[in-house]
Structure formats: structure tokens, C-alpha cells
Amino acid sequence: MRLRPIVPIAIFASGVALIASAVATGEAEVSLILIFPLISGSGGLFVLGTVLIIFSFVIGFALLAMGQLEVQQAMLDPGPGGPAREGQPRTERKYGGVVLVGPVPIAFGSDKTIALAMLVVGIVMAVVLLGVLIALF
């Protein structure tokens, strides 16, 4: 169960590494349109990297759906490791995320603390992205 999130991340990282390798070998090009990076290529490494990135999203969403089904099944049939019964405290789950639209981070979270942490992560990611783009040109 704990290795589930690692699989799509590893596939995504492999795809990014293949695309970076394609750019380094000249099979792909990096351009900048306004403030958005554009990577284009036709070599095998670029195509395989793109396929792996798309595949990582499909696998990630499938694993997410499977995890939700397991949670629902556990709630319907609480066993020894099931959810807390009446009278016992329930643990509250907190979540958050960040979406980069170009260099602009959009953060969200279940409470202010998580949302602020995601905003900080998004700003750091935007600064790193802009630094890499400036270094490339």
C-alpha cells in the first residue's frame, strides 16, 4: 500500500529523464513562447518520454480510484483495522495541492495551514522553473 504512490512518480520521473536526454542529444528542442516552455521533438527518446508521462497520469488516477474503493469497502465492512467506532476519536485527514499555470502557483488545501504550505511550495517551484528557463536561454 505504501509503495503505490511511488509507481506513478517513478514512471513520470523516467519520462522527464528521457525527454531531458532527448533535448541533450538534439532529438528534441526547447522553445519559450511568452512565458511557457514548449518542448518538441520527433526522436524515439522524446516519444517514449511523452508516452511514459501520459502513462504515469493514467496509472496514478487508477491507483487513486482503487484506493478510494478500498476506503469505501472498509467503511462498509469495518474489521479489526477499520474506521473508528462510535465513542472513539476519528482522525481528521488534511490535504492540499498546487497547480502551476505558467509561473503562477494556485494553491488549495483543507485548511489555512496546508494551503499556505502549498503556496510556499508553488512559489519555490515557480522560481526554480523560471531559473532553469533563464539558464537555458
DSSP letters of 86-118? TTSPPPPP--EEEEEETTEEEEEESSHHHHHHH
Q: Tell me what the mean pLDDT of segment 73-79 comes to.
A: 66
Residue 56 corresponds to which cell in the numbers above? 504515469
Among 113, 120, 79, smallest CA distance to 98 is for 120
pLDDT per position as a tens digit, 32-48: 887 777 888 888 899 99
Give this prediction's pTM: 0.52
Q: Tell me what the mean pLDDT of segment 103-107 comes to.
A: 86
pLDDT at 77: 66
